[in-house]
């Protein structure tokens, strides 16, 4: 007995069950949506990084340059706020 050119007899089409697909499954299938999702994640990370750096500078600059800031406030009282 050989298995070359062996075919199962056709008994009709097998019904396919459609599964509900979520958003992640749809994104994972489409290359353009994967690229867009990657760009959104990179942009969000860059935004968080910029905000974190600004907050860090807002905290560190007055500690390091406190004397200079007070001297400038004494020289330019109209701009001190």
Q: What is the pLDDT of residues 20-32, one digit of tens each?
A: 677 777 777 888 8
28 located within any domain: yes
The tally of domains found in the chain comes to 1
18 located within any domain: no
Q: Using a cut of 0.85, tell me whether the model's pTM lies above it.
A: no
Q: How far apart, in whole angstroms, are the C-alpha atoms of residue 46 and residue 42?
A: 6
11 located within any domain: no
3 located within any domain: no
7 located within any domain: no
Q: Which residue has the tokens 């340059």?
A: 65
Percentages (nearest 5) of helix, strand, coil residues in the chain: 65, 0, 35
45 located within any domain: yes
DSSP 44: H
| Least confident piece of the model among 17-26, 47-56, 66-75 | 17-26
Q: Who's near 73: CB < 8 A, 6+ residues apart? A: 80
15 located within any domain: no
Provide the residue range defining the domain that includes 40. Answer: 23-79
């Amino acid at each position: 007995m050989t298995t070359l050119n062996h075919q199962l007899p056709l008994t009709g089409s097998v019904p396919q069950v459609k599964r509900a697909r979520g958003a992640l499954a749809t994104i994972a299938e489409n290359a353009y949506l994967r690229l867009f999702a990657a760009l959104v994640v990179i942009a969000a990370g860059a935004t968080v990084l910029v905000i974190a750096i600004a907050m860090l500078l807002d905290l560190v600059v007055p500690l390091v340059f406190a004397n200079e800031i007070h001297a400038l406030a004494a020289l330019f009282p109209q701009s001190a706020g």
